[in-house]
Every structure is written in structure tokens, then in C-alpha cells.
Structure 1
Amino acid sequence: MNIVFDFGGVLFRWHPPSFLARVWPHRVPDAEAGQAVAAQFFQQYAGDWGAFDQGLIGADEVIARIAARTGWLAAEVAQVVDAVADELQLLSPTVALIQDLKAAGHRLFYLSNMPEPYADHLERSHPLQQWFENGVFSGRVKQSKPGAEIYRIAIERFGVAPESCLFLDDHPANIEAAHAAGWQALHFTTADAVRPQLRERGLLGL
């Protein structure tokens, strides 16, 4: 089986409400309050941040756009943008899952919505080439999930059939798009939660 991992919220920590509560305590007192601020900042990964995800604009431009749209100071917006790379900490249970899937003989790939600066950071900081045969970052192909084109690009790059791929992603819209592209897919919440589903499919031993 070809198992394809999302990154944010799957292999790397990414929970915008709690992230903003840590970076912007003067604006976001706790994660609950962070829900509304995260929706305004990241726009559900559409709008300004969506263009950044797709590599259509750079960090300076996304900072300027968010500041102009929200009225927040550009320096404060830059503080958040600059803090994202450090926020993307490895989730050790997912690393263990990767190692177990590799040991079981599966081929592993990744498909991640990731602006180029953060993609560069992850490649420098982690042994992605040891864990994965290949992968697609949205910022480098100018497409993003859940758009159909990035799934087609991934299949072409991986050199595999869509039906042979099992996608693990934390966003239901991306799971639906994977199914529409002919992939198998599972909604990822935690590594511990997905393990039984992988065992049911015969992809992991007991």
C-alpha cells in the first residue's frame, strides 16, 4: 500500500487556536478565544493565507495583506508568521507510526499544504527523505488541497495508481477530495486513533 501523510496536525503539531494563545497572549487569552482569531487570521486556509500556501505570494505579502484586512499591526502579524516554523514540532506517536508502516513494507509519501519557507524549514530540520520516498508541498506546485489538481500532481509524481493510495489527513474536506480523486483515505485525529483502522485494513500487525 502507498500511504500518504498530511503534515500539519498529522506529523507536526498544528492547532491554530492554541498556537495563537501562546504567540499572542495579549490578544488571545486561551485556545477557546483563539478559535475566532484563527478563523480571521488564516481564513480557513483560503484568502490571503491560501495564496501563501500555494506559493502565489511570499511572507512579506501575506503579512501586509492580513494587516490591511484586519487592522492588526504588521509587526504583530509578522510575529505570528515568523513563529509558525517553530510551532511545527514533531508528533512522536506519528513518527512511531511511520516507522511501523515502513517496517511492514509499505511505501510512504506526503502531501501537505505548506508555504515554501516552512517547507524549507521542515526539510532542513527533519529526515524527511528517510521517512518518505517522495512528496508534494503546495507552495512548490502552486496548488493546494482540497483542489483536485494537487491530487493529480501527487499521483504523477509518486508514479502510483490513485486507488493504491491511502491518505491520512486531519481535514474532512481534504479526505472528501481524496475520495473524489479515487484515493482511499482516513480522517486522522491522532496516531493512536488511526492505528486500529490500519490494523482493520491489514496494514499493521497487532
Structure 2
Amino acid sequence: MKIVFDFGGVLFRWHPPSFLARVWPHRAADETAGAAIAKDFFQAYTGDWGAFDQGLADAPTTADRIAQRTGWPREEIVAVMDAVPSELALIDGTAALIRELKAQGHTLHFLSNMPEPYADHLEQHHPLHEWFVSGVFSGRVKQSKPAREIFDLALEHFDAEASEVLFLDDYPPNIEAATALGWNAWLFTTPETARVELVRRGLLPG
């Protein structure tokens, strides 16, 4: 079984409501307000941000588009985009899980919706090549989850059949898409519950 990790919300912190409340306190006084603003800013990872995720628009173009669409000042949008790398802090529990899986001899890959600038940042600051045999960033392949194309491309990249992988992702539409394509997929919530599930599947000792 090859184990495939999503990144945002799984290996690296990604929680837009609290992120926006932290970096945009004048617009998002709390997480409730942050959640509402996130719907307009990230558009459920479609639209302007979806194109950024897919590498079809660069950061300046994305900032322009969000500003034009929302009326928010462009410099404020750029400030949010520049703060994303600090939001993508390592989730220590998941990193420990990865080390444990590797110690058990499992093959690990990643499949992440990630714009190229943030993918570059993660590669520069974390030992991804030590943790994973290979991986796919949406921004580099011009496709993104939950589209079938990126799942098919990932299987080719991982040299695997759908039935041979277990995919951990925190976004339900991605899990639903993977499952429909025959992948073994599990909705990630915390490293602790993930470990319980991996033990249940016989991939880690109890």
C-alpha cells in the first residue's frame, strides 16, 4: 500500500478562518467573520484562487483579479497572500506519523493543491524529498483536485493502481472524488485519529 498525503490541513496548517482573523483583524474580527471572508477570498478554491492553485495565473495577476472582483485594496490582498507561507506551519503530529510510517517501510507520496510560490517555499524549508518518494503539486501540473485529471496523473507519477494507494486529505470533495475513482481514501481530521485509522488498516503497529 502506497500512502499519499495531502498537505494543507494535513501536514501543514491551513485554516482560513483563523488565518484571516490573524492577518486581517480589521476585516475579520474573529473566526466566524474569517470564515465568511474566506468564501469570497478563496472561492472554495475555484475562480481566481483556483487558477492560482493550478498555475494558470501568477501571484500578481491573482491579486489583481481578487481586487477587481471584491473591491478590497490590492495591497491588503497582497499582504494576505504574502502571509500564506507563515500559515503553512508544520503539523508536528503528522510529521511524526510520517516518520513512523517510513520506519515501518511504507512508501509515501504527496498530492497537494498548492500554487507554485508556496510549493517552492515548502520545498526550501522542509525535507520533503526525505519524507516522500515523489509528489504532485497542482501548480506545477496545471490541474487541481478534485478534477479526475490530477488523480490520473498522480497514479501515473506514483507508478500505482488506484487500489494500491491510501489517500489522506482533509477536504471532503477530494475524498469523494478519489473514492469514486477507486482510490482508498480517508478524511483526515487530526494526526491522532489518522494513526488510529492506520493501525486499524494494519499499516502501523498498535
TM over 0.5: yes
Match of 1:15 in 2: 15
Q: Percent identity?
A: 63
Equivalent residue pairs, number: 206
Q: Matched residues in 1 for 2:46 and 2:161: separation?
A: 29
Match of 1:192 in 2: 192
How far is the alpha carbon of 1:86 from its aligned partner? 1.4
- What are the equivalent positions in structure 2 for 1:102-141 lying under 5 Å apart? 102-141=102-141
Q: Matched residues in 2 for 1:19 and 1:76: separation?
A: 14
Q: Matched residues in 2 for 1:12 and 1:197: separation?
A: 20
Q: Matched residues in 2 for 1:166 and 1:59: separation?
A: 32
Question: Over aligned residues, Cα RMSD in angstroms?
Answer: 0.6
User: Alignment partner of 2:118: what SS?
Assistant: helix
TM-score, structure 1 as length reference? 0.99
- What are the equivalent positions in structure 2 for 1:129-168 lying under 5 Å apart? 129-168=129-168
Superposition misfits of 4+ residues, deviation over 3 angstroms: none
**CA displacement, residues 104-133 of structure 1 (integer Å, 9 cap, x when unaligned):** 111000000000000000000100000000
Letter aligned with residue 168 of structure 1 = L
Q: Matched residues in 1 for 2:32 and 2:106: separation?
A: 39
How far is the alpha carbon of 1:4 from its aligned partner? 0.1
- What are the equivalent positions in structure 2 for 1:38-187 lying under 5 Å apart? 38-187=38-187
Unaligned residue ranges in structure 2 (runs of 5+): none
**CA displacement, residues 22-42 of structure 1 (integer Å, 9 cap, x when unaligned):** 100111111111110001100
Letter aligned with residue 12 of structure 2 = F
How far is the alpha carbon of 1:85 from its aligned partner? 1.1
Q: Matched residues in 2 for 1:78 and 1:196: separation?
A: 40
How far is the alpha carbon of 1:80 from its aligned partner? 0.4
Unaligned residue ranges in structure 1 (runs of 5+): none
TM-score, structure 2 as length reference? 0.99
Q: Matched residues in 2 for 1:178 and 1:164: separation?
A: 13
How far is the alpha carbon of 1:174 from its aligned partner? 0.3
Letter aligned with residue 109 of structure 1 = H
Letter aligned with residue 4 of structure 1 = V
How far is the alpha carbon of 1:195 from its aligned partner? 1.1
